Amino acid sequence: MTTQRYKFLDLAQVNAPYMDAIREAVLRVVESGRYVGGEECGRLEAGLQHLTGAPCAVGVSNGLDALRLILRALVERGDMQRGDEVIVAANTYIASILAIIDAGLRPVLAPVDMATLNLDTARLEECVTSRTRAVMPVHLYGRVCWDERLKEFVNRHQLFVIEDNAQAIGACAATDGLFDSRAAGALGHAGAFSFYPTKNIGAMGDAGAVVTHDADLADRVRALANYGSDRRYHNIYLGANCRLDPVQAAVLNVKLPAVESESAHRRAVAAVYDELIDNEAIIKPELTGADMVWHQYVVRCDRRDELQRYLAEAGVATDIHYAVPPHRQPCMSGVDYLAIGNALAQAEQIGDTVLSLPISTCTSVDDAKAIAAIVNAFK
Ligand SMILES: *Cc1c(COP(=O)(O)O)cnc(C)c1O
């Protein structure tokens, strides 16, 4: 393959502006003699409370564990029982589904709004059974999945809302959440954050967090993540070890204050793509207001593989999020899930047509202009 003039993502380059501060912060942890928990972890939790307006945050090991711990805590509290159902968009990343199954719950793969590629909130009633207990909005590609219809639906059916906010840190909903915040991750009862290195705010390893308006739930998540222990050597749950690494917390405390400038850069690149890409073969994502944080800029094309090859040859690296939807993964063959209407066909169609263009801070506005011109020359 030709060398890629326009890289998709280069994490060393993304982190370069923060390196001096990160070196200092990591060294502080290394020299502190305290390597589990401690000040940096507490600071990150406070930072997330400040960012989202939610009163509670618990740093954990990664985004998948954040989702798993929320669901397990709801089960431990008796809010949900084994076999209860959680509604989730059929085209989500597999981690959303793994968390639901891991907690003994049943995923309900729901129809997708083909304009937003998020849950189709007009078709939620189709997903309801006597076992429905929760909805998991996934803010896919950085686009907030929240509107009045979704809010009315969860209120009408008294459902829990667990947000998969792995891709939308810093995003904001256009309408009020269930509590006193419009921030992605604090719209429902609890939200899961991922700081996987490629996410908008990425650590230098794995890290995640749970944000919630429910202090009792936060206590349970914290205990479950620490061997199920509510105080030293006293184990109330059959817990796990899913604690946040303070070295990662130190890295994140440097980067978290930049969430707004990172999002602004992504919005500027998306605006260039939206303005300049003009090719009949390509469907651009909807350009919404300032609420979206553009974790990915995902176009759709019926000849996607051809487009990807063409771009690679023209020096533009791309990626696909995600070619194979969860229900088509080998691990799902024995799993009891429910699929609603044409949801699976939609997820397959999305998997066959999506293509992510470069949009991180390694892609400048000038790069985006050049990439748009290359995209337009695709025949
Ligand atoms: C990355 C991601 C996760 C999992 O986060 P990890 O930190 O990698 O465990 C979950 N859901 C979505 C939508 C993601 O993009």
C-beta 96 within 6 A of ligand 1: yes
Q: 208: Cβ below 6 Å to ligand 1?
A: yes
Q: Kindly give the distance from the C-alpha atom of residue 247 to the centroid of ligand 1, in angstroms, as a whole number.
A: 20
The residue behind tokens 């202090």 is 215
pLDDT of 251:
98
Whether omega before 322 lies within 30 degrees of 0, making that bond cis, reads yes
Give the distance (Å) from ligand 1 centre to CA of residue 12: 20
Burial class (CB in 10 A: 0-12, 13-18, 19+), 1: exposed
| Distance in Å, CA 91 to ligand 1 centroid | 14
Our answer on whether the CB atom of 163 is closer than 6 Å to any ligand 1 atom is no
Orientation angle between helical segments 63-76 and 94-102, nearest 10 degrees: 30
Substitution site in 88, 97, 119, 164 for ligand 1 pocket (most atoms within 8 Å of beta carbon) = 164
Query: At residue 46, does pLDDT exceed 60?
Result: yes
Query: Is 188 a residue whose pLDDT tops 70?
Result: yes
Predicted confidence (pLDDT) at residue 179 exceeds the cutoff of 60: yes
87 beta partners: 108, 135
Q: What is the pLDDT of residue 288?
A: 80
Q: List the structure tokens of 76.
A: 């431990």
Q: Helix 39-52 to helix 246-255 angle, to the nearest 10 degrees?
A: 40
Cα of 67 vs centre of ligand 1, distance in Å, is 9
Tell me what pLDDT residue 4 has.
83
Instruction: Report the distance separating Cα 251 and Cα 23, nearest Å.
Output: 8
| Exposure letters 38-48 (e unless 16+ CB within 10 A, then b) | bebbebbbebb
Tokens 């968009």 belong to: 89
Q: Is the CB of 263 under 6 A from ligand 1?
A: no
Which amino acid, 8?
A: F
Q: What is the pLDDT of residues 113-129, one digit of tens each?
A: 999 999 999 999 999 99
Q: Tell me how far apart the terminal alpha carbons of the chain are, to the nearest angstrom.
A: 20
Q: How confident is the model at residue 42 (pLDDT cuts 50, 70, 90)?
A: very high
- 277 pLDDT band (50/70/90 cuts)? very high
pLDDT surpasses 80 at 287? yes
Looking at the CA of residue 195, tell me the nearest atom of ligand 1: 7
185 CB under 6 A from ligand 1? no
pLDDT reported for residue 3: 67
Q: What is the pLDDT of residues 47-105, one digit of tens each?
A: 999 999 999 999 999 999 999 999 999 999 999 999 999 999 999 999 999 999 999 99
Global confidence as pTM? 0.98
Collapsing DSSP to helix, strand or coil, 190 comes out as strand
Residue nearest to atom 7 of ligand 1 (CA): 63
* Mean predicted lDDT score pLDDT of the chain: 97
For the stretch 308-341, pLDDT in tens is: 999 999 999 999 999 999 999 999 999 999 999 9
205 SS3 class: coil
Q: What is the 3-state secondary structure (H, E, C) of 254-296?
A: HHHHHHHHHHHHHHHHHHHHHHHCCCCCCECCCCCCCCCCCCC
